[in-house]
Each structure stands twice: as structure tokens, then as C-alpha cells.
Amino acid sequence: MISMQMINKSLIGAVVALGMTVTAQVQAFDAKTQDAEAKATLEKFDKEQPGAKAIINSAKGVLVCPSITKGGFIIGASGGKCSLNINGKTVDYYGYKAVKYGFLAGISSYSMVMVFNDEAALGKFRSNKRKWEAGADANVAVAKTGAGGVLDTNNIKSPVVAFVFGEKGLMGDASLKGGNFKRLDK
């Protein structure tokens, strides 16, 4: 018979292992590889999302996260590397990490493009000396695609909008609230 203590130890071990994997993934990166992956992600976003080019071109800044990995059971972790582009050029790199709990089970990865439509929101993101937290430092609207692949245009006008796409695996949680972005050393 499996005891509750064994289940708890297994859960803690799985979360710690996932957290270590995510942390290592965020810390170790090569700028050239990151830039190439970010460029490919923007091309995929443009190809899959009608109107993406106009959204990107009108943005004050675009945070491109080619691959965010998340996983867990009851307690989960996610993380990835991101590039901040302004006027089509990479200006900074960021690590993304989040820990969540609740009804979670599974593992998945996805791409994300976060658009800063407002100069003030972009300025706050870039000037933050500590971690920038989605939901605390700024509300992030997650753009949803409706019937026929058309975006919900109400969310696109928000100061910060996230587009999540290319999800692989199985884990039902699309919230960015509580996720932290921290500038990485080049």
C-alpha cells in the first residue's frame, strides 16, 4: 500500500527535478541561438495568425519566447528564455519562471509573443530592477483566437498582450499571472 508520505515525497521530488531543469534551461543560453529561435518564432506567428505583422509593427516592444516548458502534478513549474525586440532588433534577454499549484497535471511546451502596445508598460518592464511579474507589475491580456482564426480584438488594445501558440503536450493552464521575467546577462 502506498502511503500519503510516499506520494508527497514523489510529488516534491518531481517538482524539484522539473524546477531544476527549467532553471538550467533559463540560465544557460547562447545569444545567437536565441536570436535565431526568436526569429523563427516570429515567422511562425506571422504565418499562423492573421494580422500578426500589423500587431508586431505597431508595438512599442515585442518579447519573443520561442519555447516555454511547463509541467507538474498539483504543483507545477514553467520556464523559458525570451528576447526583447524593439524596432526589429534584440535589445535584452529575459528568463521566464513560474510556479503554480492547484489542479495541474501533465507536461507541455508552447511559444509566446508578448506585445507591449504602450510606451509606459514597456518602460516599466525594462526598468524593473527586480523580477517583473505578470499580474502584479502589469495586467497581461492573453489574446484568444475565436471561430475562423479571428482574434478577439478587445484584448489586442491592452497595454500588454500575450499570444500563446504552438502548444505541444497536455497541460490545461494558459494563465501567465504570477510568472516572473528577469533580465539575463548577455
Domain count, the chain: 1
Backbone angles phi, psi at 60, to 5 degrees: -80, -30
Kindly tell me the burial class for residue 3, based on how many C-beta atoms sit within 10 Å of its own C-beta (0-12, 13-18, 19 or more): exposed
Q: Which cell is 84 given?
A: 526583447
In this prediction, residue 136 carries a pLDDT of 47
Of the CA atoms within 13 Å of residue 123, those in its CB half-sphere come to: 3
Low-confidence stretches of the chain (pLDDT beneath 50): 1, 6-8, 10-11, 13-14, 17, 19-26, 136-137, 146-147
CA distance 115 to 163: 8
Helix then strand then coil, % of the chain, to nearest 5: 35, 40, 25
Determine the structural domain holding residue 149 and report its residue range: 4-184
Residue 53 neighbours by CB under 8 Å, 6+ apart:
46
Residues 46-75 pLDDT 10s: 998 888 888 899 999 999 999 998 888 777
Q: Which cell is 99 given?
A: 510556479
